[in-house]
Chains A and B, each alone.
Chain A
Amino acid sequence: MKPIGGIEVRSMNYSHKNVDIGVQAYQLGEEFQMLMAGPPPTGNSFTALLELPANQAMELLHSPGAADSPTELPLKRHHNMSHRSARNHPHDCAPAFPSNAALNEGATKYSGISTAAAFGGGGQDSPESSSSANAMKVKSEPMDSGSSPNSLPHTSNPTVASKNEKHTKRKEREKGKATNKKNKTAANDNSKEGERLPYVHVRARRGQATNSHSLAERARREKINARMKLLQELVPGCSKISGTALVLDEIINHVHSLQRKVEFLSMRLAAVNPRIDFNLDSLFTAGNGSVLESNFPSMVMPLMWPDIQMLGNEQECQQQWHLGSVNQPVWTRQEGHQNLIISENSLLSYDSPANSVSLHSSQQKMEI
């Protein structure tokens, strides 16, 4: 009775991505009334949902969330805020999923029960909310006697919680395995990826061991498998391989080869390095096509100025700066980076020290 109402509330809230965690416990009473006055045809009543098959129940849960949200949302939001205030302060302003995760964590008392799992698929919100609602039941002040089907799980009754568990378990069994698994991983990943919370809510699949250890292990394994799948897509040639060990081998090989490539390229860059000049700025702006153009003038200019001596330990780039400022018309050939070079030239003087040269070049780069 209550969890369904709670679920519905949560689903509506999350569907609107409204997660405000505040302490408004005292508004609950009024909102309970309003909830109870909610239209039964939308499937708000727990008993109504119970009689339906699980899928239809899920749909009912979510369609009211989509349809009736504008009117009932403000109410529900208050409920949720009051619910969450008891437990999840640090999670305000989080998007829907992390808030779900927070609530999930809050509901760890009723471990093994992510009632969301019972409602599968898009019901991720609702299960977590209901589970959190269960937790809230214990924590928050009892607002209702808990008799009304639509009352939120504020009424702290462990017995009711257990009843909810049974209901959700029953619904769980009625559903297919796929949705359960989805919900479980959703719950897990919400709790893990969203907030890195210590608790993982796992749902026992049909026909599997319900030992808490194996549940946790299964959750962990599924997380690992999900990430391995991502990696398999990333590493070429891994999708055909089956078996974690071989895939890991491939990944190791790939990372190792990439690191070797970086090492090799860095050696090459170190060897080529002396040739780096300020043309690189223009290269990056104008693209590769202008490489030859831009380098021609830089190399031609030294030819034209054979008697310019290198000053102190200046580098050749500075010499080209000097030359460039004189041979401005040479640069106008390159329309692509004309602005860049002319501005660079304007910044320089003949006596500019190496520092200012690098400074200007870095400024240019930053403008890029």
Chain B
Amino acid sequence: MENVSQDQAKNNQIRWRSAAEQKTYSSKLVEALRHVRRSSPPDNVSSRGRAVREKADKVLAIAAKGRMRWSRAILKKRLKLRLSNHKKAKDRSKLAAAGNSRRKNLKIEVPKKKRLRPLQRRVRVLGRLVPGCRKLSLPNLLEEVTDYIAALEMQVRAMATLTELLTGANAVAGNVAESSNRLEISRQLEHPPQS
């Protein structure tokens, strides 16, 4: 029956909900964040934010172990970026700008005024939201979306916990340390401490 697909879906969901998975993801994410911290230019907040986002997505895709199409698409995107840096950087900046504006309206107006039925329109939108699933048929797309939503929820949970931990640590540090050393440390930082 549908038991096969349902079981697969349920297994996937269980996988993304497990604490072990979140822990694995979080630790990998921390390691990736260290790289970002070291490698990215310290003065540009937004680029660093984007780099963090990309790293988070990449780690998420790795955590998916490439089983789903969206994870493979994310990894492919990263690979392409690495291979041809300059061109892609320009293109991506363009795309990012376009993508940001696109994100604002969920109902995409097709310039060709195609007679897309509302259902089909929504399917297209959904395909664009999930990476790598633009031209996917509806049943496969729904499967990808199911897994993608579960993975995103885990990503949000992990990152929220992480930021909580870090900001909590920062608060403690802010209370305790008012020393020259801390100033020396902050010299290395891109942003002054919150205190």
Q: Is the CB of A230 within 8 A of B9?
A: yes
Query: Interface with B: A22-30, A54-62, A103-111, A241-249, which one?
Result: A241-249
Q: Contacts A273-B37, A291-B168 given: A235-B149 contact, CB under 8 Å? A: yes
Q: Is A93 an interface residue (CB 8 A)?
A: no
Q: Contacts A231-B145, A231-B146 given: A262-B173 contact, CB under 8 Å? A: no
Query: Interface with B: A69-77, A82-90, A155-163, A264-272, which one?
Result: A264-272
- Specify which of A258, A273, A296, A303 is in contact with B181 (CB 8 Å cutoff): A303
Q: Is the CB of A276 within 8 A of B4?
A: no
**B175: nearest residue on chain A (CB-CB)?**
A299
CA distance A226 to B176 in the complex (A): 56
Q: Is the CB of A269 within 8 A of B159?
A: yes
Min CB–CB distance A264 → chain B (angstroms): 9
B-contacting residues, A222-243, CB 8 Å: 223-224, 226-228, 230-231, 234-235
A-contacting residues, B49-94, CB 8 Å: 49-53, 56-57
**B51: nearest residue on chain A (CB-CB)?**
A270
**B172: nearest residue on chain A (CB-CB)?**
A295
Q: Is the CB of B173 within 8 A of A227?
A: no
A-contacting residues, B7-32, CB 8 Å: 8-9, 13, 23, 26-27, 30-31
Residues of A within 8 A of B27 (CB): 281, 284, 365, 368
Min CB–CB distance A198 → chain B (angstroms): 13
Q: Is A326 an interface residue (CB 8 A)?
A: no
CA distance A353 to B185 in the complex (A): 17
Q: Contacts A284-B26, A284-B27, A362-B31 given: A249-B152 contact, CB under 8 Å? A: no
Residues of A within 8 A of B136 (CB): none
- Specify which of B26, B30, B123, B184 is in contact with A276 (CB 8 Å cutoff): B30
Q: Is the CB of B30 within 8 A of A280?
A: yes
Q: Is the CB of A270 within 8 A of B4?
A: no
Q: Is the CB of A265 within 8 A of B103?
A: no
- Specify which of A244, A295, A362 is in contact with B169 (CB 8 Å cutoff): A295
Min CB–CB distance B104 → chain A (angstroms): 10
Chain A residues with a Cβ closer than 8 Å to the other chain, count:
75
CA distance A193 to B7 in the complex (A): 11
- Given contact pairs A97-B4, A295-B172, A302-B177, a sample of 16 additional A-B residue pairs in the complex whose CB atoms are under 8 Å apart: A220-B139, A227-B143, A228-B142, A231-B145, A248-B119, A249-B106, A251-B126, A255-B129, A255-B149, A262-B156, A269-B56, A270-B48, A270-B51, A299-B182, A315-B37, A315-B188
Residues of B at the A interface (CB closer than 8 Å) are: 1-6, 8-9, 13, 23, 26-27, 30-31, 33-34, 36-38, 45, 48-53, 56-57, 103, 106, 118-119, 122-123, 125-126, 129-130, 138-139, 142-143, 145-146, 148-150, 152-153, 155-156, 159-160, 162-163, 165-170, 172-173, 176-177, 179-182, 184-191
* A-B residue pairs in contact (CB < 8 Å), sample of 29: A124-B1, A185-B1, A193-B5, A223-B139, A227-B9, A227-B139, A230-B9, A245-B118, A248-B126, A258-B155, A262-B156, A263-B49, A266-B56, A268-B163, A269-B163, A270-B36, A275-B166, A291-B169, A291-B172, A295-B173, A299-B176, A299-B182, A300-B177, A302-B179, A303-B177, A306-B179, A310-B188, A315-B38, A368-B27
Residues of A at the B interface (CB closer than 8 Å) are: 97, 124, 182, 185-186, 189-190, 192-194, 220, 223-224, 226-228, 230-231, 234-235, 244-245, 248-249, 251-256, 258-259, 261-263, 265-276, 279-281, 283-284, 288, 291-292, 295-296, 299-300, 302-303, 305-306, 308-310, 313, 315-316, 319, 358, 361-362, 365, 368
